[in-house]
Amino acid sequence: MKIRIRGNSIRYRLDKTDIASLQEQQQVEEITTIGAGTLHFSIHAKAGEPSIVMNANKVQLFLPADQVSTWTSTEQVGFKHELPNADGSVLHLLIEKDFKCLTERDEDESQAFNNPAQSC
């Protein structure tokens, strides 16, 4: 899972392995070690409205299970949600499938989805 944060927006990009985990276990998690600590980002499929919780070193995103099921089992690229923050601002979320880059990169993209903009 790739996570991009900019201002009040978080973009989650999931590859085929992440999608399989979300389908089978109803959750996917990415852990990054920073010094002596760890930072956890996770997505969970569950009934109800979308929500996000941040506690200490964890950011947990909860998405409607039916929306996740439709997204993971179709060609749908992604979807958006906007969630209110306690200070009155809005958190913008984008959850999408991770596509292979069209240019060479020093990154393992073996589990990325084929890019629809790729020439045949």
Separation of alpha carbons 120 and 114, rounded Å: 11
Amino acid in the structure at residue 69: S
What pLDDT is stored for residue 113 in this prediction? 54
List, for residues 59-118, the tens digit of each pLDDT value.
999 999 999 999 999 888 899 999 999 999 999 999 998 875 545 656 666 655 556 655
List, for residues 13-54, the tens digit of each pLDDT value.
999 899 999 999 999 999 999 999 999 999 999 999 999 999
Which residue carries 């200070």 as its tokens? 87
Report which DSSP code applies to 117: T
- DSSP code string of 40-92: EEEEEEESSS-EEEEETTEEEEEEEHHHHHHHHTSS--EEEEEEE-TTS-EEE
